[in-house]
Chains A and B, each alone.
Chain A
Amino acid sequence: MTDVFLLSKIQLLGLFGINKLIHTKDARTGLKAMGMGIVFLILGAEAVFFSYMISAGYAAIGLVELVPAIFLLLFSLITLVYTLIHSSTTLFGFSDFDIIMSLPVSKSSVIMSRLLTVYLGNLVFGGVVLLPAMVVFMNVTGSPAILWLSVLLIWLLAPLLPMIVSMFIGVVITAISVRFRHKNLVITLLSLIATQGTLALSFSIQSMDMDLLADLGLQLGNAIRHLYPPAALVTAALWKRSALALTGFALLSITASALFVFLLSKVYTNINSALFTQHTRSAYRVTQLNAADPNKALYRRELKLLTSYPVYLLNTCFGSVMMVGSILLLKVFGSRQLSDLLELPGLSEMLQRMAPFFPAIFVTMSSTTAASLNMEGKNRWILNSLPVSTKAVFDSKIMVNLTVLLPAILFSSLILSMTFPFDFINVLMIFITPTVYAVFIAVVGLSINLRFLKYDWKSPQEAVKQSMSVMVTMLIGFAAIAAPVALGLSLPQWNQSITVAATLILAAITVGLYRSLGRFSTKKFLG
């Protein structure tokens, strides 16, 4: 266990630049970390608030018995999706693999240390989703204080099962992909299918909940216990105070995790070796080569960068895929059903009145630029020593972001404009507004990344997922959507004017931000 602790410690010190923060003398780094901490606290507080309010709502309609099961299921789904996105890069292909594996530590220690980092992240999720619900449960049921020990144990164990399921899917995806020459592409595709599948499952579960909620109580409880049997054990452990059920849940979680670590350790080196082994032909002959201008060369390189890291591609292009998927769902099911399916109560109304903002919601989730400078990592010396201007580098990054978004916007806007009987201005705005949001999010992503650079990553996951810039960009994108939509919905007679005004304002902000990017020199962002 000492090895696991030491290996985990090294990883955790790198997490969110904690070690750098401890040892830095730079005041700006400290301020950035403080800003990051505040953002996390706000997000955490929001999650605690929602979790508390929803579980209090369930309690108010007499369903307090179901609160632990519902929230365990919800938390498990979050963990499933979160871990699935990370699974392939957490366990395999990390840059310090050679160093770590050359140390006198067992494979299971390495695996456990990698899992521990993800586990701690999920535990935090659990703290803000599961624990507030448990507080409601304990208060409403007037449970004795000793039951808090059970709650604590459930919280500590809850991430294990969904994590192991996700990691198992990740291992299967990686094991399949290593057989291919373009393994990164295969990993991306399979991960996308798995993530979409998980999301579809969670949507169907949520819609089932809403239907069953009409019958109140028993059926819902049975459905959850049927879908996720461990929920039955947790309910029994807390509602019936069954020590046997609690022991069963603990044994199930720990045994599944131990079995996973044991089995994976048997094939761990093989999969990693296959992942690091490149398919080489070694039969190149210099024949005819094509020439391109520097801007095109930068664009091609940037596109290759995006498509070469599954975690980068998956996380930043997810919005585009969701946009197309949602528009297709809208076409098939209609706005009312989609509203129920996505659990967005105002969606149907918004689609009628503020349609141009619907594709824009997904646009704001797809900023490739927010991590694009981070992704340069150790290679940044190349761009830095080349005779290319900062503007040319930035433009290539913005163009790649638009390449990801514009085809999806065009397709979605076309379908959307054919689905509802809009007037000419509305149809026009359905195309223009999301396009302006696309340029906006690309420029904002870059501006934010310039302020929160992270070059010293060990795996691309750190550059993408543990980056302050990605989070801040998403928050800004969300605010840029929420403000005009809220205004439009509260002033229905001004819908169209608000849409046009918001688009123009955003376009003006984008132009201003783009110009301000010119102030940065290559040394500032690549040095």
Chain B
Amino acid sequence: MNEILRIDHLTKTYGGKKAVDDVSLTIHAGDLFGFIGHNGAGKTTTLRSAVGILDFEQGSIMVDGHSLEDEPLACKQVIAYLPDNPDLYDYLTGIQYLSFIADIFRVGKKEREERIADYSKRLELTANLGDLIGSYSHGMKQKLALISAFLHKPRLLVLDEPFVGLDPSAAFRLKEMMKEMCDQGGAIFFSTHVLDVAEKLCNRIGIIKGGKLIACGSTEEVRGDSSLEHAFLEVLDND
């Protein structure tokens, strides 16, 4: 299977404290990888390191065969990242923002029109695309950021708490879009606190605690005979 993301012995320190401690994991094409853990466990730091926003002290990250350290632009060309609370340009309209992202990723005229029409219809944002982002609610901003993430058909989608702020209908559509992407050979690495979603949606799960990856494998392997919630609490208690 194609390796889309490989993290080897990643260590990231903040002021002497290890936020991420020797984390290694691999994500393949078609994987929907759920990353779970308590607040402050190191999820966001790992995700931000994986997309090249954060420097790290030790380890290496490969994205679609490219080293993040040596070829950051080649890596970013195939990644889309969505932070937990996306601050978008309030001074642009929704469509201006999407056009900007499409231009940067060199998405052709026809493709961008089709994709924007499709994704914005599915997430029910079409009518608002002509308005300033500053006028959007939190959920609308989240939807716009999601459309921008899917717009260039990335090989790897890195999402930090993507379901926060979405209405039930948009959350359902997002799950559909995530599955479609993985079916088409892409991979998704996302963090969530909603264990039920992770259990139903993901084929692989990683659990992080105090910066260390304490469990990682297929959803079945990680949860065993119980639910993911039980398994999560048990793993945390035992560690």
Residue of A whose beta carbon sits closest to that of B82: A385
**Most chain B beta-carbon contacts within 10 A, residue among A304, A378, A387, A389:** A387
* Known contacts A289-B109, A291-B103; A305 and B129 CB within 8 A of each other: no
Neighbouring B residues of A522 by C-beta, 8 Å: 52, 72
- A519 within 8 Å of B (CB atoms): no
- B172 within 8 Å of A (CB atoms): no
- Whether the pair B88, A379 counts as a contact (CB closer than 8 A) is yes
* Known contacts A284-B128, A284-B131, A378-B87; A388 and B99 CB within 8 A of each other: no
Q: Least Cβ distance of B48 to chain A in Å?
A: 8
- Whether the pair B126, A290 counts as a contact (CB closer than 8 A) is no
Find residues 74-88 in chain B having any chain A CB closer than 8 Å to their own CB.
74-77, 79-81, 83, 86-88
Contact partner of A297 (CB less than 8 A), chosen from B80, B83, B103, is: B103
* Known contacts A290-B109, A385-B53; A278 and B81 CB within 8 A of each other: no
* Known contacts A278-B134, A282-B127; A304 and B91 CB within 8 A of each other: yes
- A384 within 8 Å of B (CB atoms): yes
- Whether the pair B87, A379 counts as a contact (CB closer than 8 A) is yes
Neighbouring A residues of B87 by C-beta, 8 Å: 377-379, 381
- Whether the pair B113, A289 counts as a contact (CB closer than 8 A) is yes
- For the complex, what is the distance from the CA of A387 to the CA of B152, rounded to whole Å? 12
* Known contacts A278-B135, A381-B53; A387 and B104 CB within 8 A of each other: yes
- Whether the pair A286, B131 counts as a contact (CB closer than 8 A) is no
- Whether the pair A294, B99 counts as a contact (CB closer than 8 A) is no
Residue of A whose beta carbon sits closest to that of B87: A378
The A contact surface, by secondary structure, is: loop
- A214 within 8 Å of B (CB atoms): no
Neighbouring A residues of B81 by C-beta, 8 Å: 381, 385
- A298 within 8 Å of B (CB atoms): yes
- Whether the pair A291, B131 counts as a contact (CB closer than 8 A) is no
Residue of A whose beta carbon sits closest to that of B131: A280
Contact with A along B103-137 (1 / 0, CB 8 A): 11111110011001100100000111111101100
- For the complex, what is the distance from the CA of A304 to the CA of B54, rounded to whole Å? 27
Neighbouring A residues of B129 by C-beta, 8 Å: 284, 286
- For the complex, what is the distance from the CA of A25 to the CA of B54, rounded to whole Å? 20
- B95 within 8 Å of A (CB atoms): yes
Chain A interface residue count, Cβ-Cβ cutoff 8 angstroms:
44
Contact partner of B113 (CB less than 8 A), chosen from A286, A292, A381, A388, is: A286
- A293 within 8 Å of B (CB atoms): yes
- A272 within 8 Å of B (CB atoms): no
Neighbouring A residues of B75 by C-beta, 8 Å: 387
**Most chain B beta-carbon contacts within 10 A, residue among A377, A379, A381, A522:** A381
- For the complex, what is the distance from the CA of A286 to the CA of B128, rounded to whole Å? 11
Q: Least Cβ distance of A304 to chain B in Å?
A: 6
- B231 within 8 Å of A (CB atoms): no
- For the complex, what is the distance from the CA of A388 to the CA of B108, rounded to whole Å? 17
- Whether the pair A387, B116 counts as a contact (CB closer than 8 A) is no
- For the complex, what is the distance from the CA of A386 to the CA of B86, rounded to whole Å? 14
Q: Least Cβ distance of A306 to chain B in Å?
A: 10
- For the complex, what is the distance from the CA of A377 to the CA of B88, rounded to whole Å? 11
- Whether the pair A387, B99 counts as a contact (CB closer than 8 A) is no
- Whether the pair A283, B54 counts as a contact (CB closer than 8 A) is no
Neighbouring A residues of B83 by C-beta, 8 Å: 381
- Whether the pair A291, B108 counts as a contact (CB closer than 8 A) is yes
- For the complex, what is the distance from the CA of A386 to the CA of B152, rounded to whole Å? 11
- Whether the pair B131, A282 counts as a contact (CB closer than 8 A) is yes
Residue of B whose beta carbon sits closest to that of A305: B91
Neighbouring B residues of A279 by C-beta, 8 Å: 135
* Known contacts A284-B129, A290-B109, A387-B77; A308 and B100 CB within 8 A of each other: no
Neighbouring B residues of A521 by C-beta, 8 Å: 72
* Known contacts A284-B95, A293-B103, A294-B104; A388 and B73 CB within 8 A of each other: yes
- B168 within 8 Å of A (CB atoms): no
- Whether the pair B120, A286 counts as a contact (CB closer than 8 A) is yes
- B7 within 8 Å of A (CB atoms): no
- A142 within 8 Å of B (CB atoms): no
Residue of B whose beta carbon sits closest to that of A294: B104
- B102 within 8 Å of A (CB atoms): yes
Residue of B whose beta carbon sits closest to that of A526: B53
- Whether the pair A296, B128 counts as a contact (CB closer than 8 A) is no
**Most chain A beta-carbon contacts within 10 A, residue among B72, B104, B112, B113:** B104
- Whether the pair B88, A382 counts as a contact (CB closer than 8 A) is yes
- Whether the pair A308, B91 counts as a contact (CB closer than 8 A) is yes
- For the complex, what is the distance from the CA of A522 to the CA of B68, rounded to whole Å? 13
* Known contacts A278-B134, A294-B104; A301 and B89 CB within 8 A of each other: yes
* Known contacts A384-B53, A385-B81; A300 and B100 CB within 8 A of each other: yes
Neighbouring A residues of B54 by C-beta, 8 Å: 523, 527
Q: Least Cβ distance of B103 to chain A in Å?
A: 3
- For the complex, what is the distance from the CA of A297 to the CA of B152, rounded to whole Å? 15
- A102 within 8 Å of B (CB atoms): no
- For the complex, what is the distance from the CA of A382 to the CA of B79, rounded to whole Å? 12
Residue of B whose beta carbon sits closest to that of A377: B87
- For the complex, what is the distance from the CA of A523 to the CA of B73, rounded to whole Å? 12
Contact with B along A139-170 (1 / 0, CB 8 A): 00000000000000000000000000000000
Q: Least Cβ distance of B64 to chain A in Å?
A: 12
- For the complex, what is the distance from the CA of A470 to the CA of B128, rounded to whole Å? 37
Q: Least Cβ distance of B57 to chain A in Å?
A: 13
Neighbouring B residues of A384 by C-beta, 8 Å: 52-53
Contact with B along A294-324 (1 / 0, CB 8 A): 1011101100110011000000000000000
- Supply 14 A–B pairs (Cβ within 8 Å), ascending by A: A184-B91, A279-B135, A281-B130, A282-B130, A284-B127, A286-B116, A289-B99, A290-B99, A291-B109, A294-B103, A297-B99, A304-B92, A522-B52, A523-B55
Taking Cβ atoms with an 8 Å cutoff, the residues of B that contact A are 15, 51-55, 72-77, 79-81, 83, 86-92, 94-96, 99-109, 112-113, 116-117, 120, 126-132, 134-135
Known pairs A282-B131, A291-B112, A304-B92. 6 more at Cβ < 8 A? A287-B113, A293-B103, A297-B103, A308-B91, A381-B83, A522-B72
Cβ-closest 5 pairs across A and B: A278-B135, A308-B91, A297-B103, A284-B130, A387-B76
